[in-house]
């Protein structure tokens, strides 16, 4: 019988995989077993990521491409049936890799054609549901760098000041006022870059004409 794919998706880049008890998990999930959470499809991975809908809404509203990193893992120790430990495993297809993967590869996808709707999960907690996702291959992207540099800030300086701040923490927890500020700053930087690019093109054209 063919085994399902072991896909781990994240809005932050992952450089190494080690099983651990997830910090972001439902109060109903196991809090003892160290694992790497995976699902068989991109769609199910998104459903399994806490506050994925909020993160995707943030990215769309600040004008970023909604890019997710998909890591295809290979491992020998896998718990394929986690329904005993994860309440929504029947929907997300969540499985657990219980050891350091023997190999993995990364593919970035832009999530397109989706819609979002606020509602309640099965436990009555607020949630933003994601509908109609269409993943399209995308060049490698660092969402945090894209966000920080898109606002005209120095990324390396930001990392020195906030070494533990992740893109998911920022995107999943900001209020409407800060989202508006992020969008306005990104728009201002984008316009500035467009004008600078236009000025370079005009200067190059004039230089070329002057040589004739």
Backbone φ and ψ of 111, nearest 5°: -90, 115
Using the 8-state DSSP alphabet, how is residue 90 labeled? H
Burial per residue of 44-59, b for 16 or more beta-carbon CB atoms within 10 angstroms, e otherwise:
bbbbbbebbbbbbbbb
Give the tokens for residue 33: 């077993």
Distance CA 29, CA 212 (A): 72
Q: For residue 26, give Cα distances in angstroms to 68, 157, 212.
A: 21, 34, 69
pLDDT tens across 75-102, in order? 999 999 999 998 889 999 999 999 999 9
- Contacts of residue 177, Cβ cutoff 8 Å, sequence gap at least 6: none
What global pTM score does this model have?
0.85
Query: Could you report the per-residue pLDDT of 153-206, keeping only the tens digit for each?
Result: 899 999 999 999 999 998 988 777 778 888 888 888 877 776 667 677 767 767
Asked if 7 and 71 count as a contact pair (C-beta separation under 8 A), the reply is: yes
């Amino acid at each position: 019988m063919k085994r399902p794919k072991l896909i781990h998706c994240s809005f932050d880049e992952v450089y190494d995989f080690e099983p651990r008890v997830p910090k972001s998990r439902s109060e109903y999930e196991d809090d003892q077993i160290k694992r790497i959470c995976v699902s068989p499809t991109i769609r199910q991975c998104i459903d399994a990521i806490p506050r994925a809908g909020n993160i995707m809404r943030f990215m769309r509203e600040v004008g970023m491409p909604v890019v997710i990193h998909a890591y295809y893992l290979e491992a020998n120790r896998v718990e394929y049936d986690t329904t005993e430990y994860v309440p929504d495993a029947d929907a997300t297809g969540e499985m657990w890799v219980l050891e350091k993967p023997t190999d993995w590869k990364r593919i970035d996808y832009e999530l397109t054609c989706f819609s979002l709707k606020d509602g309640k999960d099965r436990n009555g907690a607020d949630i933003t549901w994601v509908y109609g996702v269409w993943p399209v291959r995308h060049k490698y992207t660092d969402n945090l760098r894209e966000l920080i540099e898109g606002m005209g800030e120095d990324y390396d300086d930001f990392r020195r000041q906030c070494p533990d701040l992740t893109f998911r923490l920022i995107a999943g927890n900001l209020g409407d006022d800060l989202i508006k500020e992020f969008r306005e700053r990104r728009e201002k930087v984008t316009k500035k870059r467009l004008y600078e690019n236009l000025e370079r093109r005009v200067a190059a054209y004039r230089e070329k004409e002057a040589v004739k």
